A = this chain, B = another copy of it.
Amino acid sequence: MMPLTIRELSLLAGVSTATVSLVLSGKAEGRVGPARRKAILELAEKNGYVSNPAAKGLAEGRAYRIALCVEGRLLQQGIIGNFSLYERMGLAAQQIQAAGYAIEIVQADTKRPPEDVCRQVARHPVDGFVFLAWSPVLMEPVLLSLRDKRRPAVAIGSVLKDDGFTWSDVDRYGAFAEATRQLLGEGRRRVALLDTNEGGIYTDLKRKAFADTIAAELGANTSVPAFAPERFSFSGVVALTERALRQVKRPEGILLTDNFYAEPVLYALHAHGLKPGKDCRLIGFGETDLADKCVPRLSHYSLRIADQVSFCMEALFEQIQSPADYAPRHVLFGPEYVARET
């Protein structure tokens, strides 16, 4: 059984292909009689009509494909720990397909010179580009060259200087400042920040927010205990936590740079008889799914990935549909506290 075409549908309905096309693409508004409209829609439904994306695309000058661009190889960078990349991909994929587009995954070799990367990316016959969590420095030349070619593009999970680009990200500085204020506001003075995020390019930013806030609230000469593990692993973070417990006696509050290694922190606290939440408030950052795997579940500031993705995908489709009157935009989502048992 070959897939049905509008031609066949039009023969069945006894109308022309144009009429069928208008009805099926929802442009029949006052151009096709309601009885015919209904008959055609029923016929299409009954026979399981599916429009041919190649034909549709060819006629409209579209590829009906969108590129998801990641830095490096998907497996290398993603396989361990980088859940947020997968969540971004999954959500973006959903929204792309809901709009009738297929996906092309571009694994860009960002070690090569920028112009090579531009060429490699731009070669893809797609209607739009989505950059997932790229480093701004590497992405800028690529975005510039795409803009020159009037090719729609958005960046999810990166902060850019140029107002001519479209991007979305979460305000990490704001989140860590607020988290620190929260601890101090509860009267907790012995606080620490533990780095639990392998290859975290934002670690310095988070530390700075922590330090700035302590300085602002308690005075510039207060000590700011921040710890990084020797090795990012379960046992490495257990050791890290124990080191922190040694240095900060009976800490009343701990901030984690990421939810990923929250479990070993909880494990170490437990081993030392410290009840998280009660004795020591623990606040994480990142994926809610990861936080909810902990026992007790981890309170944290959200990465707001769904918001980031929705914002950019909406902008991208707008850009594709009417490039002429599209205005670039960006957003830095504010801190969102997810209260849990710790």
Report A's interface with B, CB cutoff 8 A: 1, 3, 48, 50-58, 62-65, 73-75, 78-80, 83, 86-87, 90-91, 93-94, 97, 102-105, 107, 119, 123-125, 149, 231, 233-235, 238, 263-264, 266-267, 270, 287, 289-290, 293-295
Look across to chain B and name the residue whose beta carbon is closest to the beta carbon of A62. B54
> Copies per complex?
2
Q: How far is the CB of A181 from chain B (nearest CB, A)?
A: 30
29 interchain pairs, CB-CB under 8 A = A1-B149, A48-B123, A50-B123, A54-B55, A54-B57, A65-B102, A74-B90, A75-B87, A75-B90, A75-B91, A75-B289, A78-B90, A79-B83, A79-B289, A80-B290, A86-B86, A93-B105, A102-B102, A103-B104, A103-B105, A231-B295, A233-B263, A234-B234, A234-B263, A234-B264, A235-B263, A235-B267, A235-B270, A235-B295
Look across to chain B and name the residue whose beta carbon is closest to the beta carbon of A122. B48
Report the bound CA distance from A253 to B44 in whole Å.
63
Given contacts A102-B104, A235-B266, A295-B231, contact A78 B74 (CB under 8 A): no
Q: How far is the CB of A259 from chain B (nearest CB, A)?
A: 11
Q: How far is the CB of A85 from chain B (nearest CB, A)?
A: 10
Chain B residues whose CB sits within 8 angstroms of the CB of A149 once the complex forms: 1
In the complex, the answer to whether A80 meets B266 with C-beta atoms within 8 Å is no
In the complex, the answer to whether A3 meets B104 with C-beta atoms within 8 Å is no
In the complex, the answer to whether A53 meets B80 with C-beta atoms within 8 Å is no
Report the bound CA distance from A149 to B4 in whole Å.
13
Q: How far is the CB of A225 from chain B (nearest CB, A)?
A: 24
Report the bound CA distance from A125 to B289 in whole Å.
33
Chain B residues whose CB sits within 8 angstroms of the CB of A294 once the complex forms: 233
Report the bound CA distance from A290 to B234 in whole Å.
12
Look across to chain B and name the residue whose beta carbon is closest to the beta carbon of A287. B79
Chain B residues whose CB sits within 8 angstroms of the CB of A119 once the complex forms: 48
